[in-house]
Chains A and B, each alone.
Chain A
Amino acid sequence: MTVGVRLDEAAWGLLHQAMDVYQHDARAVARLRHQVARLEQPLRIAVAGPWRAGKSTVLNALMGEEVAPVEGADGVFTWYEDGPSPHATAYPVGQPPQELTVVKSATGMRVDLGWRVGEVRDIVVRWPTRALRQVTFIDTPALAAVDEQGHAPVLDRVLRDSDAVLFLSRDGRDSDLRVLESARDSVVGQAAPVNVIMVLSRADEVGGGRIDGLLTARQLARRHHRDPRVGALAVNVVACSGAIGLAGRMLSEADFAALATLAGASRAELEAHLLSADRFVRGELPVHLDPEVRAGLLDRFGLFGIRLATTLVRGGFDTRVTLSAELIRRSGLTELRESMTRCFVDRRDTLKARSALAAVEALVRAEPVRGADELVAAIEQILAGAHEFRELRLLVALRNARLGFDAELAAEAQRLVGGDGVGLAARLGVEHEATVQRLWEVAADAQWRWRDRAEDPLLPLAQRRGAEVVVRSCEGMLAELAAGGR
């Protein structure tokens, strides 16, 4: 749905232009070739965050299986790619790649790294799963706090190697935001924060394990999202309890049976035993449950998860499938996946083009040669000219409420430029199965209204410019509809 030059073509052209400029530098050419190849590969999404933010848990929850982390792989980037059979390869520094043994388990797999820490930089795990068809996940080491020079080496590599980032934070505290801010010093990086979703992980721990903790976490996420400082860093903020989500996705019949047994006890009786983890494992439960089963439940669900699950079972989610679905929904995992689809997967081309631009910019900065200025100019031209980036910039401006649109208009503009998803239906705010005729009508109407706004001399310039971008998006949609697409 693009009018004018396509962004991915522009990125491809830029990479080849850069290859011409750097033709005498074999290393640079290799890097650029790698970038060209990346344009065709699945989208790379890195899961990054500070120490014990729940990176591997969120990753497992997204894949629906227990595959992360690789045992003993501290400080290693672990790549999860789609593959025909389970397979793991370690890439030690300065040594040939080494196959690792993969042990399949009931709930996923275990990879053990027989290496000493520090020698291995990357582990590539191939794992046949649907979740990896379109994306490659990267499990990253803990982000350290920003050092004196304002650098965060791990985050730099994360941003270099991935197209999009799930930034995990327990509570979105200042020091976490500072780490993320430190990475925004390039032209491409400043253009639009489109590649980061902030995840308030461990949402189940909010409110000290109260039963409404996840709801509160969701409110917190919304509050963060409205915060201009966060809005400048992340395209969306989602509260998600990786642990509950994973437990929901992997809910086995045995677990369900145990939970159902627990739910069978009276609420008051059970409550006393769910006061603390110790009491739950060691106490005398009113119903019979093996201590090992209890420990297993506690390990997978956490105390909060057990409280939530028993409440849900009592509340009518009394089959494994419904309970699983409700747990996943409540954990925020559904929202996270939707958000990822909307912000990352649907914008795959934009994100990849962005990575390519960033890579060329980094190269030009690191090794300025003759003709590099033209490359920088080309990058800026693409950033300024590509309608996708203009839409993204408008989105950021709308989020920061810089333009001064009232809330309703801002919401509509946001929807039209793809803030709620880039599909035609999502942009136009109509039901999924609407006819082409209806889409056309809505799009044309939106175009007229926003054109009026763009040409209204009474409005401030910034608002008129914003409206122009919206008009352009509407025109694009109409063009796509005219071409017969949906």
Chain B
Amino acid sequence: MFPLRLCDIRFQPNGRPVLDGIDLELGGEGITLVLGPNGAGKSVLLRTICGLLEPTGGKIDWGGGKRPELGVMMVFQHPMMLRTSVLENVAVALKPHGVPRVERRRRAERVLDRVGLLARASDSARLLSGGEQQRLALARAWVTAPRLLLLDEPTASLDPSATAEVERIVREIRTDGTRILMTTHNLGQATRLGDDVVFMSAGRVREHAPVQRFFARPASDEARLFIQGELPWRLNF
């Protein structure tokens, strides 16, 4: 599956360039944060990699092989919560993997324990708080042991403690060997979690650099302005 190479990926619904020639290479380890202003194409990029959107041009090379049928998972900003228990909401992700029902539940329990929701396994998923629902969504992805996990602003609208908990889980998933590509608007989170940063603007990758270098010496003016726009927020803390 890796290195994952995106070559001149374009997505232009009705002729409007949302992704305008994306070139990107991802190795098999680490957490890559995708930063950029609203409308930069971050979420569309993740959906394209996930296979939810068909690019209108370009090619995705999955380590020289075909796109894997399983092994890529995505967690959304507002994850779905089925009208059933927390446990079943996690176990359901293993259906496409052909895992027997008993084994699905056993694996789901194990992952729920790791995200701190085992005590709520029999509760209704829809009655969880926003932070707990996001942890459930991460558990649902994690239970399938994906090679690549795509996270679309998983901590947007979460309070600081819920955000910290989600970040802890993301680190654990990475430690388990999953490659993570995550969008965020939170620059503090980027410095805490990321190994490298992809900076996007107007449907293009403007910069791809290690986290420290990106924040210390952004290569593009747009990246510098983007970071400066966030700096007062960070200095307050």
Instruction: Indicate whether A and B interact.
Output: no
Interface residues of B (CB under 8 A from A): none
